[in-house]
């Protein structure tokens, strides 16, 4: 819909340019010495990047002056230019927008300098498509296809192939008109629509197809030369009867190699000569087709006299005889003919002759009876045959003979290959390729968005009409046995289609020779440039050498590779064998063009606004399905091979190729699929059978924004093995405005480490005023919808005892509380720097699980997941559980074994009995040291004078018992409760069991050190548990590769947080690798299927 613009001029000031310049240089806020060319800093103090649309230098200064009347926007002039200065450039595309491939940007200035006036639709698109579509198959194989498949099935073959190319052209037109298509044509369109992986794979398939097309055209050229122009030029001659076919193939190999070398030299010396000769070659094609139609019209009232010799119903080759008779009359009487000598063992009438020759008569029929003869009805149906079968005329009487072994040398016309419908599709399809010729010249067109759809579709309509009409006309004009005679042997070695043409067969022979020769040159010109474009994109690293060329940009190395691949096609030597190969590659390319259009249409991306309106996703999907069907119809093993090649290239680019962001449709499709899947995922917790740890990894960064404990990511990779969700989070202290540069650097460092450690997941970095809030924000908000983490993995704060890091233990304990409140599991890796890297392998050892309390079964699941990874695969799993005095340890072991059996987890089981005994002096001493350190940690937050005062108080409390009692009376009470290790029942039993004995025992101990009597008994009991359990674990698991242990929860009130850290330290003391596990409380493992 048209849009009206009204341009309102802003009145300039009366001051002259000099005054303006002076005011500009003296403007307040401009820094001294500020150069007008240098970009002015933005308001946040950071210089912005230059816009990709704006040229530097004069353009910047010009936009600055134009913005003088727009003072409100003057700070943004360096990055956001005035619209008035850009409209002309944008309208003429002299500056390309973002998203254009890098080498296109590099060559843009050079292309503008040498750019000639653009070509129109007819010259730029229609004629090149016509020349590429009409070619070798039309002249050498179409009559044979009609004869073998019949008019009806041939019509079906051509209709299917033409429909496929028409649907592809519609999709291509939509893509080509969706924005400016720089030079690069079909590869550019596919890669920018489907992404670098598909683009590289399909681009290389298109390149291989174009290269093999060059081989096919060269083979067609040599076949015309050796068969129809100069049969005597053959270098290799058959040594015996029946070797003619092999000799022909060897001759084609020799001549084809020489022709390829000559053509490659022509392309290397000067492509401009090839382009200039293109119109000459096209003229040959057009004249040849006109000669065919003229011959058909002439045959209606004056059919040509072309006799064909039949023996019975078998067609005879007239290469070695002239007279179609057994005997002929001469002046001296009756004599035998040359044909008699070929079938008999002598020239005398009494000689012994071939049985079939003796019993059947020789007849002559017209090879081209004309369009009005009614021969069309005889040619409607197919005549498929095996290799080496006689070419026979249906309905002609023939005396049957006994099964004979055909002697060599008899002049029969025989089929040279096995024929069937699907094989003919593969041979014919290359004749409809070439629809990309117009889009490949998109950089040279005056208006590519108008010319490409119009020219391509008109060319397809024209060529489809030519092919379909030729099928009907050939079937109506030419005798069936002549149609099935591939090399024109019954016509004395003449080209079948040439004998139909008017005024002379040589019009077709010479025209087809030059057209195939020109098509071969065009393929050798276009294929290296396509390879060069792929190489310069940098998406396939090992191809980058082919991006270089001569000083003028000609792709020398790419030409050498193209010639080498083309030579492999020539060594195949058979046109009928090469044609299906290039059919595969072209069909794959066309399939992905249709896929690109369908994906873009279905996604409805905002940038998808083609000017070509006559498309629909159903047409693209139909075209894609038809291409895929034709691939398997032609040859299922070739199709699988071509798809394997494309798949290997795709995976190679995915893993080793350069990262490219082209705004492609596959990326959009992934986003849509992700959104759809996220909306379908239940927001609540998953079923127990689907539960797996979705991990939020908390990383600490050093002052250089590097990760402190990279082994934590190694452990994540080993635990996850690429499955489920992994979010790698970290926190920077400060404000985002001040720290956004450091945040970007930190995120880049984390991503590079994730790549090195092969951790598949997402990175989320938060800038917060303090670490505590940042970690809380990550735990609350990381993830999206149903894809949220359910487990937090972090490293043990090794520096929590150090005086210069007083808050690390506080942040850690609060994070433990946060995960509990969020009902998330928590994994704490202690001595994380001793954990194995991904390259290490444990050849033996154990993963020991100490199952003290049940909090969802996570302890059982983690070793199972770890043992899926190569690092831990050879480690055996052991499960220990603790029995109290009143527990039946034998029954516990049986129950645990049964439970593991139902869980389908193989592990050794051991029940450890912890004998109740008195609290040792070591435990009291540990508790005393802990409480002293706890008091010191509290004082680190006080001022210097307060610290000195409190230090004196601590000293007094530890030396005088009455001071300690007074201090304990002032302190708030601590509830005597153990959360994880001590259940409520056992705690009550512990309180009241042997109370009198305990009191007397305490008195004996307190006599050793009076300070012990003032300790908090709850802390003493907890320390006793930690010391005892640590002793048991050390006894059993000191040599284990990994120890998994239930992690006790922090105290309900916050008074004992410092003591909590000490308990955990004592619990894990002396162990190399420890993973403290705190479950979320919900079941994560089940015995049910």
- The span from the CA of 362 to the CA of 1076, in Å, is 100
Does residue 732 sit in helix, strand or coil?
strand
What's the length of the chain?
Answer: 1089
pTM of the model: 0.67
Structure confidence at residue 268 (pLDDT): 86
**57 has pLDDT over 50:** no
Spatial separation of the C-alpha atoms in residues 809 and 806, rounded to whole Å: 7
The helix or strand, by DSSP H or E, that contains position 224, with its residue range, turns out to be: helix 185-224
> What are 574's two structure tokens?
């058979």
Cβ atoms of residues 1006 and 1013 within 8 Å: yes
Q: In the predicted model, what is the mean pLDDT of the chain?
A: 76
Give CA–CA dist 182/106, Å, rounded. 13
Which stretch of DSSP H or E encloses residue 519? helix 505-537
What CA–CA distance (Å, rounded) separates 1079 from 820? 9
Task: Please compute the mean of the pLDDT values over residues 137-142 and round it to a whole number.
Answer: 90
Q: How far apart are CA 38 and CA 35, in angstroms?
A: 5
**Percent of the chain scored above 90 by pLDDT?**
17
Helix (H) or strand (E) segment spanning residue 631 = helix 617-634
pLDDT higher at 353 or 915: 353
Whether residue 11 has pLDDT greater than 50: no
Over residues 839-882, the pLDDT tens digits come to 888 888 888 888 877 766 788 888 888 888 888 888 888 888 87
Sequence-separated (6 or more) residues with CB below 8 Å from residue 1069: 1030
- pLDDT band at residue 1059 under the 50/70/90 scheme: confident
Structure tokens at 387: 């290799």
Angle between helices 921-939 and 1017-1037 (to 10 degrees): 110
Separation CA 390–CA 396 (nearest Å): 14
| Residue tagged 């394997």 (tokens) | 644
pLDDT of res. 805: 61
Terminal C-alpha separation, the chain: 61
**Rounded percentage of the chain residues whose pLDDT exceeds 70:** 73
785: pLDDT strictly greater than 50: yes
Cα separation of 168 and 820, whole Å?
A: 58
User: What is the mean pLDDT of the segment spanning 7-11?
Assistant: 46
Look at residues 314, 405, 309, 407 and name the one whose alpha carbon lies nearest to residue 359. Answer: 314
Higher-pLDDT residue of 517 and 67 is: 517
CB within 8 A of 775, min separation 6: which ones?
Answer: 698, 731, 811, 814, 815, 818
Q: Are 125 and 438 spatial neighbours (Cβ–Cβ below 8 Å)?
A: yes
pLDDT band at 723 (very low <50, low <70, confident <90, very high): confident
For residues 47, 50, 54 and 57, what is the CA-based torsion angle, rounded to 10 degrees?
A: 70
Contact status, residue 729 vs residue 782, Cβ threshold 8 Å: yes
Nearest Cα to 441, choosing from 126, 741, 864, 716?
126
CA–CA gap between residue 668 and residue 676 (Å, rounded)? 12
Segment (H or E) for 353? none
Q: How many CA atoms lie within 13 A of 453 on its CB side?
A: 17
pLDDT tens profile 354-407: 888 888 888 989 999 988 888 999 899 999 999 888 888 888 888 887 765 555
Q: Say if CB 475 and CB 380 are below 8 A apart.
A: yes
For residue 28, pLDDT over 90 is answered with no
C-alpha dist (Å) from residue 1035 to 36, 182, 869, 1028, 1070: 76, 73, 28, 11, 10
Q: Coil, strand or helix: which one is 407?
A: coil
Q: Which pLDDT score is estimated for 100?
A: 40
- Return all residues near 355 (Cβ < 8 A) that are at least 6 apart: 401, 402, 404
In sequence order, the 6+-apart residues with CB closer than 8 A to the CB of 308 are: 315, 364, 365, 366, 367, 479, 481, 482, 490, 491
416-443 per-position pLDDT tens digit: 889 999 999 999 999 998 888 777 776 6
Helices of type H across 225-315: 244-269, 271-301
CA 80-82-85 angle, 5° bins: 125
Gyration radius of the chain over CA positions? 43
Residue 815 to residue 818: CA distance in whole angstroms: 5
**Residue 478: pLDDT band with limits 50, 70, 90:** very high
Instruction: Measure the CA–CA gap between 101 and 928, rounded to whole angstroms.
Output: 70
Is residue 307 within 8 A of residue 364, CB to CB? The reply is: yes
The token pair that represents 231 in the structure block? 């049969």
Q: Which residues contact 802 (CB under 8 A, 6 or more apart)?
A: none
Long-range CB contacts for residues 805-813, cutoff 8 Å, separation at least 24: 806/937, 806/940, 806/941, 807/771, 807/772, 809/937, 809/1057, 809/1058, 809/1061, 810/772, 810/1057, 811/771, 811/772, 811/775, 812/1061, 813/1050, 813/1057, 813/1060, 813/1061
CA atoms within 13 A on the CB side of 673: 7
CA gap 552, 365 in Å, rounded: 60
- Answer yes or no: are the C-beta atoms of 132 and 519 closer than 8 Å: yes
Tokens 């303090």 correspond to 770
Residue in the block written with tokens 């050892």: 845
């Amino acid at each position: 819909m048209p849009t009206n613009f009204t341009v309102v001029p802003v009145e300039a000031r009366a001051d002259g340019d000099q005054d303006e310049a002076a005011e500009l240089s003296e403007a307040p806020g401009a820094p001294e010495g500020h150069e007008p060319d240098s970009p002015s800093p933005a308001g946040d103090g950071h210089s912005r990047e230059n816009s990709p649309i704006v040229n530097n230098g004069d353009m910047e200064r010009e936009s600055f002056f134009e913005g003088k009347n727009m003072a409100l926007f003057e700070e943004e002039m360096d990055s956001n230019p005035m619209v008035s200065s850009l409209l002309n450039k944008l309208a003429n595309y002299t500056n390309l927008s973002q998203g254009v491939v890098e080498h296109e940007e590099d060559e843009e200035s050079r292309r503008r300098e040498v750019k000639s006036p653009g070509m129109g639709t007819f010259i730029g698109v229609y004629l090149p498509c016509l020349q590429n579509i009409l070619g070798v198959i039309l002249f050498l194989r179409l009559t044979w296809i009609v004869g073998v498949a019949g008019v009806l099935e041939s019509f079906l073959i051509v209709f299917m192939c033409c429909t496929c190319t028409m649907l592809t052209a519609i999709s291509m037109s939509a893509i080509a008109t969706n924005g400016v298509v720089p030079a690069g044509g079909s590869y550019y369109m596919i890669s920018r629509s489907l992404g670098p992986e598909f683009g590289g794979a399909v681009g290389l398939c298109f390149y291989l197809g174009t290269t093999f097309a060059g081989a096919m055209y060269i083979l067609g050229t040599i076949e015309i030369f050796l068969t129809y122009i100069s049969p005597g030029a053959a270098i290799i001659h058959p040594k015996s009867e029946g070797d003619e076919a092999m000799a022909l193939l060897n001759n084609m190999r020799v001549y084809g190699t020489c022709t390829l070398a000559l053509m490659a030299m022509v392309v290397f010396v000067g492509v401009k000569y090839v382009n200039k000769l293109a119109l000459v070659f096209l003229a040959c094609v057009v004249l040849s087709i006109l000669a065919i139609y003229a011959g058909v019209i002439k045959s209606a009232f004056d059919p040509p006299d072309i006799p064909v010799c039949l023996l019975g119903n078998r067609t005879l080759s007239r290469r070695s005889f002239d007279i179609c008779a057994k005997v002929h009359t001469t002046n001296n009487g009756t004599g035998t003919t040359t044909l008699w000598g070929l079938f008999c063992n002598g020239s005398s009438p009494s000689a012994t002759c071939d049985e079939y020759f003796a019993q059947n008569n020789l007849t002559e029929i017209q090879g081209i009876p004309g369009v009005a003869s009614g021969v069309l009805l005889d040619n409607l149906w197919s005549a498929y045959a095996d290799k080496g079968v006689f070419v026979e005329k249906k309905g002609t009487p023939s005396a049957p003979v006994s099964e004979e072994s055909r002697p060599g040398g008899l002049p029969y016309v025989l089929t040279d290959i096995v024929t069937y419908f699907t094989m003919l599709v593969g041979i014919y399809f290359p004749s409809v390729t070439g629809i990309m010729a117009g889009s490949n010249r998109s950089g040279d067109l005056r208006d590519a968005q108008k010319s490409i759809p119009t020219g391509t579709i008109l060319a397809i309509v024209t060529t489809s009409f030519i092919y379909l009409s030729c099928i009907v006309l050939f079937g109506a004009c030419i005798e069936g046995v002549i149609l099935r005679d591939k090399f024109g042997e019954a016509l004395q070695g003449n080209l079948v289609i040439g004998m139909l043409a008017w005024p002379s067969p040589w019009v077709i022979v010479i025209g087809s020779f030059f057209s195939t020769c020109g098509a071969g040159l065009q393929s050798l010109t276009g294929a290296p440039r396509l390879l060069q474009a792929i190489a310069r994109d940098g998406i396939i690293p090992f191809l980058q050498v082919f991006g270089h060329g001569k000083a003028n940009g000609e792709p020398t190395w790419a030409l050498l590779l193209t010639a080498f691949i083309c030579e492999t096609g020539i060594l195949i030597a058979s046109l009928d064998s090469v044609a299906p190969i290039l059919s595969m590659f072209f069909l794959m390319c066309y399939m992905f063009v249709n896929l690109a259009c369908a994906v873009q249409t279905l996604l409805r991306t905002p940038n998808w606004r083609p000017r070509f309106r006559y498309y629909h996703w159903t047409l693209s999907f139909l075209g894609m399905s038809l291409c895929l069907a034709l691939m398997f119809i032609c040859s299922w093993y070739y199709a699988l091979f071509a798809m394997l090649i494309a798949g290997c290239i795709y995976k190679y680019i995915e893993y080793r190729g350069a990262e490219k962001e082209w705004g492609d449709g596959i990326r959009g499709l992934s986003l849509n699929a992700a959104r759809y899947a996220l909306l379908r995922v239940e927001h609540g917790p998953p079923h127990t059978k689907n539960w797996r740890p979705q991990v939020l990894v908390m990383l600490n960064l050093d002052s250089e924004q590097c990760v402190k404990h990279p082994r934590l990511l190694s452990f994540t990779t080993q635990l996850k093995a690429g499955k489920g969700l992994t979010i790698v989070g970290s926190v920077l202290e400060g404000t985002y405005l001040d720290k956004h540069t450091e945040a970007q650097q930190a995120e880049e460092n984390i991503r590079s480490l994730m790549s090195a450690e092969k951790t598949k997941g997402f990175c989320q970095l938060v800038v917060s005023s303090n670490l505590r809030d940042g970690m809380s924000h990550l735990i609350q908000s990381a993830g999206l919808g149903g894809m949220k983490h359910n487990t937090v993995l972090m490293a043990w704060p090794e520096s929590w005892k150090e005086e210069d890091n007083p808050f690390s233990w506080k942040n850690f304990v609060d994070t433990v509380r946060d995960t509990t409140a969020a009902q998330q599991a928590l994994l704490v890796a202690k001595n994380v720097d001793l954990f194995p890297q991904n390259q290490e392998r444990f050849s033996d050892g154990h993963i020991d699980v100490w199952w003290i309390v049940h909090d969802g079964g996570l302890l059982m699941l983690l070793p199972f997941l770890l043992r899926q990874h190569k690092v831990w695969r050879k480690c055996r799993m052991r499960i220990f559980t603790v029995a109290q005095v009143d527990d039946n340890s034998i029954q516990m072991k049986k129950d645990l074994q049964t439970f593991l059996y139902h869980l389908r987890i193989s592990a050794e089981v051991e029940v450890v009995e912890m004998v109740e005994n008195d609290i040792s002096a070591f435990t009291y001493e540990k508790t005393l040291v802990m409480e002293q350190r706890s008091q010191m940690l509290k004082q680190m937050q006080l001022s210097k004078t307060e610290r000195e005062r409190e230090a004196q108080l601590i000293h007094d409390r530890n030396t005088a018992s009455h001071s300690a009692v007074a201090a304990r009376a002032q302190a708030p009470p601590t509830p005597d409760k153990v959360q994880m290790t001590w259940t409520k029942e056992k705690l009550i039993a512990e309180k009241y069991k042997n109370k009198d004995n305990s009191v007397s025992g305490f008195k004996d101990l307190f006599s050793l050190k009076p300070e012990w009597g003032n300790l908090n008994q709850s802390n003493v009991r907890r320390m006793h548990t930690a010391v005892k359990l640590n002793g048991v674990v050390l006894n059993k698991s000191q040599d284990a590769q990994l120890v998994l242990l239930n992690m006790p929860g922090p105290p309900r009130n916050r008074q004992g947080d410092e003591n909590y850290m000490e308990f955990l330290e004592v619990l894990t003391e002396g162990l190399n690798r420890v993973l403290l596990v705190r479950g979320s409380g919900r079941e994560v493992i089940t015995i049910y299927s």
